[in-house]
Structure 1
Amino acid sequence: MANGMLGLGAQFPEFKKTAVVSLEKGNEFYDITGEDHKNAGKWLVMFWWPKDFTFVCPTEIAAFNQKAADFADRDAILIGASTDSEFVHLAWRKNHDDLRDLKFPMLADTSKSLAEELGILTADEKIAYRVTYIVDPQGIVRFVAANDLSVGRNVDEVLRVLDALQTDELCPCNWVKGEETLNV
């Protein structure tokens, strides 16, 4: 990450990428842009994984999928992403039981331009680190978490942070939705 990872308060980069959205013949692919969530007045949760057809990644993707309705309930558009092509994404979804019924798009950053702009490519192989972004409806990065390639992330923690950000108040350590926020 020579240029440094895009951080808090930054404007999330503009992009237009092809994503796998379905296994239905003729409807597999859809173009997604960085404007989609803003135009809808929604939050964006984008999580990156290093490579399709690997081992930690499908556990994370399946965990995000199990919570897809929770993200939707919070007016958040959920997008999974890697630098693999849409064709590799599609083959992996067809091949892996836990990925067939995904409720969110798998974005293909085949040119690696978005991952590069985000500053999340590994130095050697130029694959994405396990990075999660929460972006507000104005396109401002409000949360970034990066994991080592060998460690999966915690989806409940991403939801907890999204809840906290959406209160627009001060939330103490380990705060969860429904608890009191801080009055200062």
Structure 2
Amino acid sequence: MINVGQKFPEFSKTAVVSLEKGKEFETITSDSLVNEDNQWTTIFWWPKDFTFVCPTEIAEFNKNYGEFRDRNTTLIGASTDSEFVHLAWRNDHDDLRGLKFPMLADTSKSLAEALDILEPNEKIAYRATFIIDPQGIVRWASVNDLNVGRNVKEVLRVLDALQTDELCPCNWEKGQETLTA
């Protein structure tokens, strides 16, 4: 798997960004991850659309979208399903219709492969999460097995800690004291 401290791989992928006819799709590239606005990025992967654990995670990230925005962080969801499958799933699933973040389609699996997060038998993405700083460098990476959903509050806690750029002790939460060396 790609390591902390490495540059996030280059990519150009189609994403579902809307349910409005004619405005459903947009191209997202790795160039948007490097910016001068001090914008961070959190990108999370799920194995398959039209499954059971995945929509619970996607809905929870969406529920916390404002928390990511308040932390100057772009949120992107991704899987190896196509943009058309993403769109059909959003239209079909009550919890996904109002998504505020893009659903990236990595149909070639090239990005998942570059991240080394493909499950070896089915070639679907593990439940991987990456926090990327404004220079496009991976600052945190986490992977769950296919059957276990992740904890969105923990992603936010780690993001808060990274954004302090200070030493944060075990179980540190925003507002608590950091450590001095």
Q: TM-score, normalised by structure 2?
A: 0.98
2:38 corresponds to: 41
1:122 and 2:116 are equivalent in the alignment: no
Q: Output the CA distance in 1 between the equivalents of 2:33 and 2:123.
A: 27
2:9 corresponds to: 13
1:68 and 2:61 are equivalent in the alignment: no
1:170 and 2:155 are equivalent in the alignment: no
Letter in 2 for 1:89: H
Q: How does 1:41-120 map to 2 (within 5 A)?
A: 41-120=38-117
Letter in 2 for 1:35: D
1:136 and 2:133 are equivalent in the alignment: yes
What do residues 48-107 of structure 1 show as CA deviations (whole Å, max 9, x unaligned)?
A: 000000000000000000000110111111000000000000000000000000000000
SS state at 2:158 partner: helix
Percent sequence identity is: 72
Letter in 2 for 1:154: N
Letter in 1 for 2:33: H
Structure 1 segments of 4 or more deviating over 3 A? none
Q: Output the CA distance in 2 between the equivalents of 1:43 and 1:145.
A: 16
Q: Output the CA distance in 1 between the equivalents of 2:88 and 2:3.
A: 33
Q: TM-score, normalised by structure 1?
A: 0.96
SS state at 2:168 partner: coil
SS state at 1:107 partner: strand
SS state at 2:34 partner: helix
The number of residue pairs the alignment matches comes to 180
Letter in 2 for 1:32: I
**Which of 22, 28, 32 is residue 26 of structure 1 equivalent to?**
22
SS state at 1:35 partner: helix
Q: Which runs of 5+ in 2 are unaligned?
A: none
Letter in 2 for 1:147: N
Q: CA deviation at 1:37?
A: 2.8
Calculate the aligned-residue CA RMSD, in Å.
0.7
Q: CA deviation at 1:38?
A: 1.5
SS state at 2:57 partner: helix
Letter in 2 for 1:8: V
Q: Output the CA distance in 2 between the equivalents of 1:37 and 1:112.
A: 19
Q: Which runs of 5+ in 1 are unaligned?
A: none
What do residues 116-167 of structure 1 show as CA deviations (whole Å, max 9, x unaligned)?
A: 0000001111000000000100111100000000000000000000000000
SS state at 1:30 partner: strand
